[in-house]
Amino acid sequence: MTTSGQIGNIDLVKQLNGAVVYRLIDQQGPISRIQIAELSQLAPASITKITRQLLDRGLIKEVEQQASTGGRRAVSIVTESKHFHTVAIRLGRNGATVTLYNLSGKSIAEEAYSLPERTQETLEKGLLHAIASFIETFRNKIRELIAIAISLPGLVDPEDGVVKYMPHISVDNWQLGKTIRERFNVNSFIGHDIRSLALAEHYFGATQDCEDSMLVRVHRGTGAGFIINGQIFLGKNRNVGEIGHIQIDPLGERCYCGNFGCLETVASNLAIEQRVRSLLSQGYSSKLTLDDCSISTICKAANKGDELAVNVIEYVGHQLGKAISIAINLFNPQKVVISGDLTEAEKILLNAIQRCIDNQVLINFRQSLPLVTSQLDHRSAIGSFALVKRSMLNGILLQHLLGENND
């Protein structure tokens, strides 16, 4: 008699083995079945079975034959991406950016939708309408929709797709993942925006060459995402990386969290703009004006040598550097990535952060530690797509797609 536990174990083995094979093809293709067997340590018969399933589902394809080393030449395999599509959404405070991706991460179409709703119910209604409208608009570009993924600020349980907290509206265990699945009859993935962006940077951006990395994003607030052994570090409580709430000045401004002098009260777009306005109002000389103190304008002025703008960005970089140095001493990453509009003044900002790292981080931790800017800053929804990419590489979505083919 087979117990349910044994059935579960068999399903897990199928998922893991399928993931190993697909991951090797995705990351190292063109690759032969012989090479897959050597690298995966799976039996040739298992490789043959899994690749046949992937071929039948259209998830991989055979390409040119490899050069012969004696005997019949091996056929190479690569992943097939253009037939499978994902709708990825970056949900912000006042709107959503919705992007259509194929499985390679290529953006096919993108639209921005205004969502000024201020209750969970109205936000959900507006979001569902936006997704439905987007799918209808670009239906002719979608061959097979395999998932909808959403990243957002707040506290998210990614396993259940439940949003527990958002900084700008009141939510009560918002079953967003379940709602998306039921409304569109498709797999759904929900994640935290900055943690998801850190994962995207690992798959497609600046940290592809390392397993442990740290991403810090300065936007409306300041947050961090950590990649440990190639995976998002979440912890049991599903929420880590709130670097914006490290206290850097006990006598500083009150933060929305209730504490005083949090990093976010200094290192956020609004705080930076307000600091510039305050200095201008006090009579400090600058080519900046009270009517134009946007982050982009401040960065451009700093790059041209405007003393006030340079001093403000150096100050913010110093405060960021203190918090980042604490995190480096805790996690010892292989690379640190800075993301956000402020990176338009990259040289000034990174130099200020680097000075703190040089003075405050253990020497063995800071040696050969690259400090770089994001390669994905202008791809708003790429973090959401990274959640889908992960589910293919770890076998969860992959096995679901293969299961549909076997039914």
Residues 6+ apart with CB under 8 A from 88: 98, 99, 100, 101, 148, 149, 150, 151, 381, 382, 384, 385, 388
- Residue 27 belongs to what H/E stretch? helix 4-28
Integer Cα distance of 21 and 199 in angstroms: 21
- Which part of the chain has CATH 1.10.10.10? 4-79
| Amino acid 238: pLDDT | 65
| Amino acid 257: pLDDT | 80
- pLDDT tens-digit map of 5-63: 454 577 788 888 989 999 999 999 899 999 999 999 999 999 999 999 999 999 999 98
Of 141, 152, 142, 122, give the one whose Cα is nearest residue 184: 142
| Amino acid 406: pLDDT | 52
Mean pLDDT computed over 354-359: 97
Integer Cα distance of 381 and 276 in angstroms: 30
Integer Cα distance of 337 and 48 in angstroms: 40
Whole-number Cα distances in Å, 237 to 157, 169, 324, 325, 332: 8, 21, 22, 24, 22
**Segments in 193-237 forming alpha helices (H):** 193-204
| Amino acid 4: pLDDT | 47
Q: Is the dihedral of CA 28, 31, 33, 35 positive or negative?
A: negative
- Answer yes or no: is pLDDT of 297 > 90: yes
What is the pLDDT of the chain when averaged over all its residues?
Answer: 90
Integer Cα distance of 289 and 284 in angstroms: 11
Domain 208-373 bears CATH identifier 3.30.420.40:
yes
Of 348, 351, 358, give the one whose Cα is nearest residue 313: 348
- Answer yes or no: is pLDDT of 1 > 70: no
* pLDDT band at 194; cut points 50, 70, 90: very high
- pLDDT tens-digit map of 248-278: 888 888 888 888 989 999 999 999 999 999 9
Integer Cα distance of 208 and 376 in angstroms: 12
* pLDDT band at 2; cut points 50, 70, 90: very low
- Which part of the chain has CATH 3.30.420.40? 85-198+381-406, 208-373
CA torsion angle 233 235 238 242 (round to 10): -70
| Amino acid 340: pLDDT | 94
As given in the structure block, the two tokens for residue 393 are: 């590489």
Better-scored residue on pLDDT, 71 or 254: 254
Integer Cα distance of 248 and 383 in angstroms: 29
Helix (H, G, I), strand (E, B) or coil at 106: coil
Rounded to the nearest 5°, which phi and psi values hold at 366?
-95, -15
* pLDDT band at 66; cut points 50, 70, 90: low
Rounded to the nearest 5°, which phi and psi values hold at 242?
-80, 60
* pLDDT band at 317; cut points 50, 70, 90: very high
Q: How many CB atoms lie within 10 A of CB 238?
A: 16
Please give the model's pTM, rounded to 2 decimal places.
0.90
Contact (Cβ atoms closer than 8 angstroms) between residue 174 and residue 162: yes
Beta bridge partners of 254: 260
Contact (Cβ atoms closer than 8 angstroms) between residue 212 and residue 229: yes
Rounded to 5 degrees, what angle do the CA atoms 72, 47, 71 make? 10
- pLDDT tens-digit map of 214-246: 999 999 889 999 999 999 888 776 677 788 898
Report the topology of domain 4-79: Arc Repressor Mutant, subunit A (1.10.10)
| Amino acid 3: pLDDT | 47
DSSP string, 263-332: GGGTSSHHHHHHHHHHHHHTT---S-BTTB--HHHHHHHHHTT-HHHHHHHHHHHHHHHHHHHHHHHHH-
Integer Cα distance of 183 and 178 in angstroms: 9
* pLDDT band at 407; cut points 50, 70, 90: very low
Residues 6+ apart with CB under 8 A from 85: 100, 101, 102, 103, 108, 141, 142, 143, 144, 145, 146
Report the topology of domain 85-198+381-406: Nucleotidyltransferase; domain 5 (3.30.420)
3-state secondary structure 222-233: EEEEEEECCEEC
- pLDDT tens-digit map of 86-117: 999 999 888 999 999 999 999 999 999 999 87
- Answer yes or no: is pLDDT of 382 > 50: yes
* pLDDT band at 168; cut points 50, 70, 90: confident
Residue 94 DSSP one-character state: S
